[in-house]
């Protein structure tokens, strides 16, 4: 077995070093799974908004407009806004109090927040991985250096390079692994944050237009 190889370092590591390495591995896998899922989700949302909103406004009435939205809104971020704008408020409830404009605004706001919460799902995990992975790697580094210092004296009481090389290599590798895990997570978090903000602006504009449409247009009854 080649000295300094990953397998050799794994076999030479103690329980703490292996646990730290496994923690970094799990964080890396979780980050890349989230990156793939979020990229696909936000890409679909961008396409849905770009195609569904023009199709909705091209419809002749709200019923056909909803059908156009439902056919193209694969991530279901637009249809809930329309349903919220057209929802009937039960009489005799606090929801029915106040002006119609306020009621529609409240329902649209709730639907918008619900949709944005789905778009932001996973962002906290990416941010947490990006901020904590370097410290996990640093812990592994500190532990590896401690083991190296503890092994400076060989069995005969003289320093032994064999007792030092493994822990030092493990320590350096932990630092590199922590950075390697953190960098993609941070970059993805920032990139996805911009895309979520762009989608939020589009959804807010659509919600505002729906509010104006519903206030000036009687809600059609579904047959």
Q: Write out pLDDT tens, residues 198-217.
A: 999 999 999 999 888 888 75
Residue 212: C-alpha distances to residues 70, 82, 202, 205, 208 (Å): 21, 12, 16, 11, 6
Query: What is the rounded CA–CA span in Å between residue 124 and residue 112?
Result: 19
Q: Which residues contact 164 (CB under 8 A, 6 or more apart)?
A: 148, 151, 152
Tokens for 66?
């909803």
On the question of pLDDT at 222 being above 50, the answer is no
Render pLDDT for 158-183 as a digit per residue (tens, 0 to 9): 555 555 555 676 777 888 889 999 99
Count Cβ atoms below 10 Å from residue 133 Cβ, excluding itself.
25
Query: What is the rounded CA–CA span in Å between residue 217 and residue 223?
Result: 18
Query: Residue 155, SS3?
Result: coil
- Report which of 24, 22, 40, 34 is spatially closest to residue 187, judged by C-alpha positions: 34
User: What is the arithmetic mean of pLDDT over 83-92?
Assistant: 75
Ramachandran quadrant class, 91 (left: phi over 0; alpha: psi -120 to 50; beta: rest): beta
Computed from CA positions of residues 22, 24, 28, 30, in that sequence, does the dihedral angle turn out positive or negative? positive
Query: Quick check: 38 and 188 in contact, CB under 8 A?
Result: yes
Ramachandran quadrant class, 122 (left: phi over 0; alpha: psi -120 to 50; beta: rest): left
Query: What is the rounded CA–CA span in Å between residue 104 and residue 81?
Result: 10
Instruction: Output the CA torsion 19→23→25→28 (10° steps).
Output: -170
Q: Which residues pair with 159 in a beta bridge?
A: 153
pLDDT computed for residue 54 by the predictor: 93
Render pLDDT for 186-201 as a digit per residue (tens, 0 to 9): 999 999 999 999 999 9
On the question of pLDDT at 153 being above 60, the answer is no
Count Cβ atoms below 10 Å from residue 39 Cβ, excluding itself.
14
On the question of pLDDT at 83 being above 70, the answer is yes
Q: What is the DSSP letter of 159?
A: B
């Amino acid at each position: 077995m080649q000295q300094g190889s990953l397998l050799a370092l794994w076999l030479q590591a103690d329980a703490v070093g292996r646990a730290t390495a496994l923690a970094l591995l799990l964080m890396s896998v979780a980050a890349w799974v989230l990156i793939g899922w979020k990229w696909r989700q936000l890409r679909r949302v961008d396409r849905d908004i770009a195609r569904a909103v023009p199709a909705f406004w091209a419809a002749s009435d709200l019923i056909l407009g909803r059908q156009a939205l439902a056919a193209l809104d694969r991530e279901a971020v637009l249809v809930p806004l329309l349903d919220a704008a057209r929802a009937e408020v039960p009489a005799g409830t606090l929801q029915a109090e106040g002006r119609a404009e306020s009621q529609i605004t409240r329902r649209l706001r709730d639907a918008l927040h619900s949709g944005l919460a789905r778009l932001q799902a996973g962002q906290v995990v990416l941010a947490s991985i990006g901020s904590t992975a370097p410290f996990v790697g640093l812990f592994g580094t500190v532990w590896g250096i401690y083991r190296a210092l503890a092994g400076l004296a060989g069995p005969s009481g003289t320093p032994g390079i064999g007792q030092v090389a493994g822990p030092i290599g493990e320590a350096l590798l932990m630092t590199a692994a922590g950075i390697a895990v953190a960098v993609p997570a941070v970059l993805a978090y920032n990139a996805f944050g911009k895309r979520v903000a762009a989608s939020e602006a589009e959804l807010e504009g659509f919600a505002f237009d729906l509010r104006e449409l519903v206030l000036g247009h009687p809600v059609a009854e579904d047959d």
